[in-house]
Amino acid sequence: MKAIRGATTVAKDCPEDIRESVKELLDCIFSENNLRLDEVVCIMFSSTADITSFYPAKAAREAGYARFPLYSSSEPAIEGALARCIRVMILVERSKAVKHIYLREAKMLRKDLSRTLNIAIDGPAGSGKSTVSKIIAERLGILYLDTGAMYRAIALKCVRENADYADKDVVRNLIENIDIKVDYCNGAQVTLLDGEDVSSQIRTPQVSLLASYVSAYSFVRTKMVDLQREIAAKFSCVLDGRDIGTNVLPDCEFKFFLTADSAVRAKRRHEENISKGITQSFDDVLKDIEERDFHDRNRAVAPLKQAKDAQVIDTSEMTIDQVVSAILTKVEEKI
Ligand code: DC
């Protein structure tokens, strides 16, 4: 079960305006969350004491939101409370992430949720980006977009088609009609290649190395960057990658660049591989990491490099929790 929160305000304390605000709020919550009526357990409203002319629950029923228990209560008259404000809590039977909605004057109650919040986290392989990004997204209740997974999906396609990744034209033809999408299941990213969930197949050492090669082609990047920008414009999300702060979202308000010593990064990746049942010696992991670093940093298009306005965090000697709180402190200062 999940709870969706929301709030809005009413122009005047009259039934028409209450009906209008409640309908607008519920319509927006349902559409932004792709919510079906049969997923709803109940809807509860509370309204500030200056709303006296109509029950928000009645307005909801009249607007067609009527297949579940509805409830309204009145809040005490508290000095300084936002005027004519209606708050809602919707309990829903679902496990995937939900989006809270704040409209009209109520936007000021949750500035963090009332605008699209993008956080760019760039850095080399093994710097801790994906672990940290996932935790931050979860803490803030926003999505996590693993952009590397998209390049990995293209690399997997090359492997499956036995395509020569060094031949630009072969890769160009291969991706002409490629269908790469990301979806979310229980808050976790699912990477779809031509409709198939390839989330685990893209994590092999072979795909890792190949992804670094194919991501250097400008036509590959153009296609993936368009998709990343589209997602970032629609949803609040943490994006991790190599060029988010420099190229994908150069105007992003929150940019971080994680680094770590290559031996530390290789140790982390080696342990991660062992936990996933991938066998590769530490020396080979280190060699792969250094080779990928070289490619990612030296390619002509959108190479891995820190944006001038990114905050650099060297994670070599830091725990995950320390990196997460360093980033969250910076973000929460501003939202
Ligand atoms: O983050 P990752 O290891 O999953 O990324 C796989 C490869 O994709 C990486 O070597 C470089 C490339 N990549 C990129 O060029 N730009 C991004 N935004 C993300 C990844």
DSSP 214-273: HTTSHHHHHHHHHHHHHHHHHS-EEEEESSIIIII-TT-SEEEEEE--HHHHHHHHHHHH
Share of the chain above pLDDT 70, in %: 99
For residues 103 and 125, membership in a common domain is answered with no
How far is the centre of ligand 1, averaged over its atoms, from the C-alpha of 330 (Å)?
A: 25
For residues 27 and 100, membership in a common domain is answered with yes
Q: Using one digit for the tens of pLDDT, what is the confidence trace for 218-276?
A: 999 999 999 999 999 888 899 999 999 999 999 999 999 999 999 999 999 999 999 98
Q: Using one digit for the tens of pLDDT, what is the confidence trace for 16-75?
A: 999 999 999 999 999 989 999 999 999 999 999 999 999 999 999 999 999 999 999 999
pLDDT band at 98 (very low <50, low <70, confident <90, very high): confident
Contact 153, 180 (CB under 8 A): yes
For residues 133 and 259, membership in a common domain is answered with yes
Distant-in-sequence, close-in-space partners of 243: CB < 8 Å, separation ≥ 6? 122, 221, 225, 302, 303, 304
For residues 44 and 180, membership in a common domain is answered with no
For residues 87 and 164, membership in a common domain is answered with no
Compute the distance between CA of residue 165 and CA of residue 171 in angstroms, rounded to an integer. 6
How far is the centre of ligand 1, averaged over its atoms, from the C-alpha of 73 (Å)?
A: 51
Token reading at 229: 């920008």
pLDDT of residue 37: 94
Domain boundary among 109, 136, 162: 109
Amino acid at residue number 105: E
Partners of 40 in the β-ladder: 92
For residues 160 and 104, membership in a common domain is answered with no
What average pLDDT is seen over the chain? 94
How far is the centre of ligand 1, averaged over its atoms, from the C-alpha of 45 (Å)?
A: 45
Q: Give the count of beta carbons closer than 10 Å to the beta carbon of residue 132.
A: 27
Residue 114 has pLDDT above 80, yes or no: no
Task: State the CATH number of the domain containing residue 136.
Answer: 3.40.50.300
Q: Using one digit for the tens of pLDDT, what is the confidence trace for 168-201?
A: 999 999 999 999 999 888 778 999 999 999 999 9
pLDDT band at 333 (very low <50, low <70, confident <90, very high): confident
Compute the distance between CA of residue 150 and CA of residue 194 in angstroms, rounded to an integer. 12
Q: Containing H/E element for 42?
A: strand 40-47
Q: Using one digit for the tens of pLDDT, what is the confidence trace for 288-318?
A: 999 999 999 999 999 999 999 999 999 999 9
Q: Which of 191, 89, 116 is nearest to 147 (CA)?
A: 191
Residue 80 has pLDDT above 80, yes or no: yes
For residues 179 and 265, membership in a common domain is answered with yes
pLDDT of residue 108: 80
Residue 111 has pLDDT above 80, yes or no: no
Amino acid at residue number 195: G
Residue 149 has pLDDT above 90, yes or no: yes
Q: Which of 310, 306, 305 is nearest to 256 (CA)?
A: 310
Backbone angles phi, psi at 235, to 5 degrees: -125, 145
For residues 200 and 249, membership in a common domain is answered with yes
Greatest C-alpha distance within the chain: 73
For residues 302 and 266, membership in a common domain is answered with yes
Does ligand 1 lie within 6 Å of residue 241's CB atom?
Answer: yes
pTM above 0.85, yes or no: no
Does ligand 1 lie within 6 Å of residue 239's CB atom?
Answer: no
More confident position, 47 or 96:
47
Domain that holds residue 283: 118-334
151 CA closest ligand 1 atom index: 8
Does ligand 1 lie within 6 Å of residue 299's CB atom?
Answer: no
In this structure, the dihedral spanned by the alpha carbons of residues 198, 200, 206 and 207, taken in order and rounded to 10 degrees, is: 40
Judged by average pLDDT, the poorest of 133-137, 214-218, 222-226, 329-333 is 329-333
pLDDT of residue 72: 97
For residues 105 and 155, membership in a common domain is answered with no
Residues 84-103, mean pLDDT to the nearest whole number: 92
Compute the distance between CA of residue 105 and CA of residue 8 in angstroms, rounded to an integer. 7
pLDDT of residue 139: 87
pLDDT of residue 43: 98
For residues 272 and 305, membership in a common domain is answered with yes
Amino acid at residue number 69: P
Give the total number of structural domains in the chain: 2
Query: Which residue has the CA at smallest separation from atom 16 of ligand 1?
Result: 242
Task: State the CATH number of the domain containing residue 35.
Answer: 3.30.1330.40
Pairing verdict, β 118-122 and 196-197: unpaired
Please tell me the number of Cα atoms within 13 Å of 97 on its side-chain side: 21
Contact 237, 145 (CB under 8 A): yes
Query: Which residue has the CA at smallest separation from atom 4 of ligand 1?
Result: 148
Domain boundary among 89, 109, 129: 109
pLDDT of residue 16: 97
Residue 113 has pLDDT above 80, yes or no: no
Domain boundary among 50, 84, 109: 109
Residue 88 has pLDDT above 80, yes or no: yes
Residues 115-144, mean pLDDT to the nearest whole number: 92
For residues 81 and 128, membership in a common domain is answered with no
Share of the chain above pLDDT 90, in %: 87
pLDDT band at 96 (very low <50, low <70, confident <90, very high): confident
